Homo-oligomer: A and B are copies of this chain.
Amino acid sequence: MPNISHRGQIMPASPIRKLVPFAEAAKKKGITVYHLNIGQPDIETPAPVLEAVRKSDFKILEYSHSAGNESYRRKLTTYYSKFGITVDHTEIIVTTGGSEAIIFGFMACLDPGDEIIVPEPFYANYNGFATEADIRLVPVTSSIDTGFALPPIEEFEKKITPKTKAILICNPNNPTGYLYSGAELNVLKNICLKHNLFLFSDEAYREFSYDGENISALQIEGLENHVVVFDTISKRYSACGGRIGAFVTHNRGLLDSVMKFAQARLSPPSFAQIAAEAAVDLPDNYFDSIKAEYQSRRDLLVTRLNTIPGVFCPNPGGAFYAMARLPIDDADKFCQWLLEEFSYEQQTVMLSPATGFYATPGLGRQEVRFAYVINRENIAKAMECLAKALEAYPGRQ
């Protein structure tokens, strides 16, 4: 039998999905599991977005343009302009989810062995995309004690080598919820200009910024040829299954290169492009209620977490995630124990151990990520479970 490749062997498994079998077993025992572990929103996809697809009347499900339908790209420029972002439709390449935009960026900007500096904890799938592109993610550690603020400039400069080609941020951040300030983006600007680096900015959660203004990397003046934004409709419109994202940059040479990757895979999905185009026409107040809902969940979650003895949860400024430090020996063990051995009134909680979000071995062992994608009533019940679990957990510290 032929062997799979070394690359196929070292490709990381999803750290978030590895607990799924334990959750399934718990459910089979009749236990209610509160899913605070994954970023699948419970908010309904806006009806006009789904209706646009259901009312479509084309006869042939054709390839679209490799960069995405021009009508959609033109409309997206109006979406961006609402955030003060000026882009031309030719500066947008529609991708198959934000995932593909990230892979395109890694492939077109870095060669095998090159390095990207990324504040940790970070979105775990960046590891998989880095393996595919055969590049290295070099972490700089942000700390729960400072609420996961951008590490100081010296920490970045310590990590720069001749192989460093880019800095990657996620703003607001998954998994920490941290919202970067204008001053922090300015620090990144200076590093990128000084060392001639790309700035990759994953802005999947742009709309969900609660305390302070969200600033896109595309708004940083003087960094136009360095900035690439990875975007997606997934979280914004509860449209994760559409698989529509975008690769956005002012760098024309980079666009030319990425178009070659886009042409090789022919086109992004046609049905969901119709949905995505309709989404741009949603009224401006669409996000008001969604944002208010997430913010009220955040406030409930963070407040309740901080009342549990030994728990510390900094208040996240955006996205729909929060990271908390728990009085435990090992987050992986604890999260598995919650599903395998614990229940309170036939209920338990599924969380993501933070270890999967750190690249530095040993970090995050007392931290877990919460995705507040369930309603407040269930968040309250989940917090009650968690408080009881922390009392009962044999590895409490």
Contacts and interface: CB of A to CB of B under 8 A. Distances in A.
A243 B267 contact: yes
Nearest to A16: B263
B50 A53 contact: no
A89 to B, nearest CB: 17
A269 B96 contact: yes
Interface stretch (A104-112, A335-343, A384-392): A104-112
B251 A1 contact: yes
B132 A107 contact: yes
Interface stretch (A252-260, A292-300, A301-309): A252-260
A272 interface: yes
Interface in A260-275: 260-261, 263-272, 275
A196 interface: yes
Interface string A91-121: 0000011011001000111111010000000
B257 A270 contact: no
A77 interface: no
A101 to B, nearest CB: 11
A140 to B, nearest CB: 19
Interface residues of A, number: 81
A225 B3 CA distance: 10
B257 A269 contact: no
A324 interface: no
A4 to B, nearest CB: 5
B226 A8 contact: no
A14 interface: yes
A61 B275 CA distance: 10
A143 to B, nearest CB: 27
A101 B111 CA distance: 23
A129 interface: yes
A81 to B, nearest CB: 25
A85 to B, nearest CB: 20
Interface string A216-255: 0000000001100000000000111111000000010110
Contact of A7 (B60, B107, B125, B238): B107
Contact of A54 (B56, B132, B270, B272): B56
Q: Which 8 A-B pairs have the closest CB atoms?
A: A241-B270, A128-B264, A8-B108, A271-B271, A8-B257, A269-B269, A14-B263, A1-B225
25 contacts: A1-B225, A1-B253, A2-B109, A4-B109, A4-B253, A5-B110, A5-B114, A7-B107, A7-B110, A8-B107, A45-B59, A54-B54, A54-B56, A64-B241, A125-B264, A125-B266, A134-B134, A241-B267, A241-B271, A242-B270, A243-B267, A269-B271, A269-B272, A271-B272, A271-B275
